Structure 1
C-alpha cells in the first residue's frame, strides 16, 4: 500500500550496496493487493493471498484472489497455477514459509471479519503432475487460536509462530508445529518475553528468530527488538544499540548470513519523510 493505493510492482533490493531496482515482469502478473505473503525457493518467487478488493468500486460479493502465483526470477515471467481439489480460502494477514525444500506452507490470516488458524501445504513437486493443496490437520487437540498479523518461520522440521491478533485479543504466545508428527505444542518460553502485538516481522539467523516492531495492545507502534533462541526457548531483548528503525507495523524483515534487514511498514508516529525509504541493517554476529 503506497499513499492508500494498492500496488503490484516488484523491487529487487541489493544487499551489497542497499540499492533497489524496479523489476519489469510479464505474463500473468498478480493484481494489486495488500496483506499478501511470499517466499522464495531456488529461482522462483511464490506469492499467495492478500486483500485484492481494495477498490471501493469493486463488487462486495467478489472473492479474494486465492491463486498461487509463481515468478521465474530468471525469465521474469509470472504463472498463475491452476490447482485441483480443496484449497484455502483467499485471505490476508496470513503467513507463509518454505519447509522441506519444496513445501509452501500457509497459516492463519483473516477475511471479512473471520479469522483462521488452519494450516495448508502446497508441494511444488505436484506442479509436475496434479497441482493441489493439502490441509494439514493436526494430530494434537491443542492448537493456536485463530489469528492474523502474526509471524512464522521454519526451523528444521518445525514451523514457529509468535503473536498476532483475533480482532479482540493480542497474543504473545509462541507455538511450534512438528511437520513430521503434525502436532502443535505451545512453547514454554523463558527470559524477556515480548509484549503482545500484531503486524510485527521476523527473520531467522541460525537457531535465533529475531522479531521487530508491530502494534501493541494500545495500538501504538513498537520499535523494540527481541530474539528467541530456539534451542533453549529463551527470549532476549536488546537496548542501547545505536540508531534504530522507528516504530512501525506491516514491515518486512529478511536475513542474509548474520545480517538482518528491516524495510518499509506503516507508522502512526511522526517521522522523517525519508524514513519509509530507509533500509535498516542489524549485524547479529556480536549478539547472543
Structure 2
C-alpha cells in the first residue's frame, strides 16, 4: 500500500521528500536519494499536514499525529543547513486544528488556505486565508488572519484547494469533485475553479472553471498544480467513463489571460 508522501521543489535540481507516515525526510539529486538525519523538536509521524519551502527552511503546519488520533496546531521549521527541527511558539490567534490545507510562500511570508477544520465537535470546510511572516521570529511570532476586501471569495461546501504563487499574488485551484461516479450528488459535482488573490488589495477574483463545463470533460481532480508564466499546469487524475471505476492520469493546461484550457496527450 503506498504511503502518503509530500514532494517539494528545491534549488539546484534537488527534490525534498517527507514521508508523512514514516516521519523521515529525504533529498533527491542526480537520481540518488539521501536520507536526512534530523535533530531538534521534530513533528513526528503525521499525515495530511501542509508544507512549503522558504529559502533553506522547510515549514510544516497541522495534520494528524499518527497513533494519537489528534490534530497538532503547531508550526514546525526545518533548517536544511543544520538539519534541525524547531517548534515555533506563536502569540495570539492561530489557524487552529486543520488538515488537508494548502501552504505556499511569497517572499518571507507563509500563506495557508482552506482545509478541514475541527470545531463544535464536527469537521467543516474552511475558507480562511492565514499569513505568517518569518521575520516575526526575531520578535513576536504571530499568525495573521487575512480579511478579504469584500464578500467575494471561494466558499464551496466541498472543496480541495491548492495554493500557488502567481505574479505578485496568489492563485488558487479548487476541485469540487468528491465522487468519480456516474450520478454524483449535485453539491459534489461543481467543477474545478481558478481564483486569484491580490496581496495588495486583498481581493479575491474568480477567473473561471477549468473542468466541469469546459473542454476537459470528463470530470477530473487536480491534486498537483504549478504555474509557469501565464499558464496553469495541473497533473490530475480523472475517469474516462463515469459508469466505470477506471482512473487515468494526464496533464491539463489553463491559459489565464486567454481563458482557454487544453489537455496534453502524454506518452
Per the normalisation by structure 1, the TM-score is 0.72
- Contact residue 218 and residue 238 of structure 2 kept, 8 A: no
Matched, 1:207 2:227: no
Distance 1:22 1:195, change over 3 A: farther
Quote the residue 2:16 is aligned against: none
Distance in 1 (CA, whole Å) between partners of 2:247 and 2:196 is 26
Q: How does 1:1-288 map to 2 (within 5 A)?
A: 6-14=21-29, 17-52=30-65, 54-55=66-67, 58=68, 62=70, 64-99=71-106, 101-112=107-118, 113-146=123-156, 147-165=158-176, 169-170=188-189, 171-188=191-208, 192-193=215-216, 197-198=220-221, 200-214=223-237, 221-239=247-265, 241-242=266-267
> What does the per-residue CA deviation read over 1:7-60, in whole Å, with 9 as the maximum and x for residues that have no partner?
21111121xx222211111101112111112111111111111222x42xx36x
Distance 1:36 1:98, change over 3 A: same
The Cα of 1:194 is off from its aligned counterpart by 6.5
SS class of match (1:117)? coil
Quote the residue 2:184 is aligned against: none
Extract unaligned runs of 5+ from structure 1. 243-288
Distance 1:199 1:208, change over 3 A: closer
> What does the per-residue CA deviation read over 1:133-168, in whole Å, with 9 as the maximum and x for residues that have no partner?
000011121111245533221112221111234865
The Cα of 1:65 is off from its aligned counterpart by 0.7
Q: CA RMSD in A?
A: 2.7
- Contact residue 120 and residue 133 of structure 1 kept, 8 A: yes
SS class of match (1:200)? strand
Quote the residue 1:262 is aligned against: none
Distance 1:194 1:206, change over 3 A: farther
> What does the per-residue CA deviation read over 1:195-228, in whole Å, with 9 as the maximum and x for residues that have no partner?
6554611122233221012466968534121112
Distance 1:227 1:3, change over 3 A: closer
SS class of match (1:125)? helix
Quote the residue 1:253 is aligned against: none
Quote the residue 2:8 is aligned against: none
- Contact residue 148 and residue 198 of structure 1 kept, 8 A: no
Distance 1:225 1:181, change over 3 A: same
> What does the per-residue CA deviation read over 1:50-95, in whole Å, with 9 as the maximum and x for residues that have no partner?
222x42xx36xx4x11111111111101111110000101211111
Distance in 1 (CA, whole Å) between partners of 2:117 and 2:208 is 30
Distance 1:120 1:215, change over 3 A: farther
Distance in 1 (CA, whole Å) between partners of 2:134 and 2:218 is 36
Extract unaligned runs of 5+ from structure 2. 5-19, 179-186
